[in-house]
Structures are given as structure tokens and as C-alpha cells.
Structure 1
């Protein structure tokens, strides 16, 4: 009998294959597809798997990270910033509110997490808004400068 870790790894491989083949917009749909393939899947296990796989939920459905979204890949991050970020608003010394195109916040947040910029402590995203935590005001200013340079808005 396979171990729990082996079962989890097999389920995650199946999730990746399903997301490559099909457009899946709900976790319940993914759970059903996994069960149909013989996997023991629940909404909570699938939710954890999606998070650990770095899957982003877009308006068009779940999307696996691209191969070039590896930690430290600034080019991917800057492309997403230029394409999807609409506005930056500091909110106190430790928080930056990032407005994105509708449905793009999670994808941008995952990318910002992966590039591991030292200014970023963590992110929390919704549908079109990201809260980016910074260690302090100086880090927030550096992050705003870095992001605005790539938005073509200059620095402030």
C-alpha cells in the first residue's frame, strides 16, 4: 500500500496533468475529476495541493506556474507587473496595496512571492488587490520604486 506521501505526490502529479489538459474553474470540479481517476481527494486536500503547487486561480480557471516562474526570476515578475498592475498605494509603513487587473492578483502575488525580493515579507491576494507586507518604511519605499520603474510611472 502506498504511503501517504506517495499518495499525495501521485495526486499532485494528477492535478498538474488535469490542469494541463482541461480548464478547471472550481475545486469541487477538480475533486470530482480526481475521484473519477481513483484518487482519495477532498476539497481541503485539493486546496492544500493547489497552494503547494503554486497554482493561481484566474478568471479563466486554475493555472499552473510557468517554468520560468522560478524563485529569483525578475524578468517574469516584471512582465506580470507591467501587464497586470494598475496602481500602488502605500498604507502605513509596512503595507503596500497593489491594484491589478480583475482576476490577476493571485498570479501577480505568487510571482512576487517567488522572486524573493528582500523588500517583501509576504503577500495576501484577492481578485484584483494584493496586500504586500514589508519589514519597514524603507523597504516599502524601495519596493514602490522598483515596481513603479516597471510600470513606467517613475518614482515618488
Structure 2
């Protein structure tokens, strides 16, 4: 029977522990695992918790971002979604992804903290990435290619 004495923070800590053991394929699988541990959890509460924890949805499932000062791990986690990266003028990149992957790639690029990136806009299968200069653009292309080769 679920224990109502658990706080949302307790639930988030339990989600962290579950994700530390490996990716969660779906939010529903997390709900079931939390319920089995005695937590009151719904898909919407788990969704909010994942957002609060800055979890990333990868092809393997939900994962927590790994501590990495370079931000490369954020992009490596979504590298399997990348299809190609092309410059479009001196300050813009067009990044094509698998269908439905652009928002996850844009979010990973937003969170990676690379100083060369000014901002990202993700659609369905295309991300537009703005850089401050042509040299920043080249640096971002190199870093994305490096991350793609690590995956």
C-alpha cells in the first residue's frame, strides 16, 4: 500500500536511485517501480519530477544528465538521433535529426553549456543553432562530431 508520508523530494530521490541503476524505458515503468517501493506516483507527478531533475529522454529511455564540465555528455546522450550538421551562413547551424528527435537534441544543446552556442530552436526533425561567430560555428560542429563519435 502506498505511503502518504513520502514527500515529493523523497520521490525524486527514489527516481534518482532508479535511474542510477539504468535508463527507464517509460514514465509508466517509473510509476510502477515507485509504487512497488510504496510511493504515491502518477504519470503526471513522475513527468514533473523528471523535468525537475532535468532528466533527458534518450533512445534507451530516461536518464539523468551526468556531471561533466564540458557538457559533452549531454550531447553524446542524444548522438544517435543526429543525422547531419550543416552550416547555414556564418552564425547558424542546421542540425537534422531522426523524426521526433529535434526537441531532445535542442534541449541537450541548451543544457550542455557550450559558450559558443547562443540558442537553439527544435522542431520535429530539425534544430537551428545560433552561434556568435563563424569560428564559434566551426567549434560547435567539431564538438558535435566529437560527441557523435563517442556514442
| Range of TM-score over shorter length | 0.5 to 0.7
Residue deviations 1:55-93 (CA, integer Å, cap 9, x gap): 12222222221121x5xx255467x39x65442246799
Q: Is the 8 A contact 2:11 2:34 kept in 1?
A: yes
Q: Distance in 1 between matches of 2:114 and 2:142?
A: 18
Aligned twin of 1:131: 127
Q: Distance in 2 between matches of 1:30 and 1:21?
A: 12
Q: Distance in 2 between matches of 1:130 and 1:143?
A: 20
Q: Distance in 1 between matches of 2:62 and 2:90?
A: 33
Q: Please, which runs of 5 or more residues in structure 2 have no aligned partner?
A: 147-151
Cα separation, partners in 2 of 1:133 and 1:40, compared to 1, 3 Å: farther
Cα separation, partners in 2 of 1:112 and 1:122, compared to 1, 3 Å: same
Aligned twin of 2:47: 47
Q: Is the 8 A contact 2:56 2:64 kept in 1?
A: yes
Q: Is the 8 A contact 1:77 1:111 kept in 2?
A: yes
Q: Tell me the CA shift for residue 20 of structure 1.
A: 2.0
> Aligned-pair RMSD on alpha carbons?
3.9
Q: Is the 8 A contact 1:19 1:63 kept in 2?
A: yes
Aligned twin of 2:107: 109
TM-score for the superposition, normalised by structure 2: 0.64
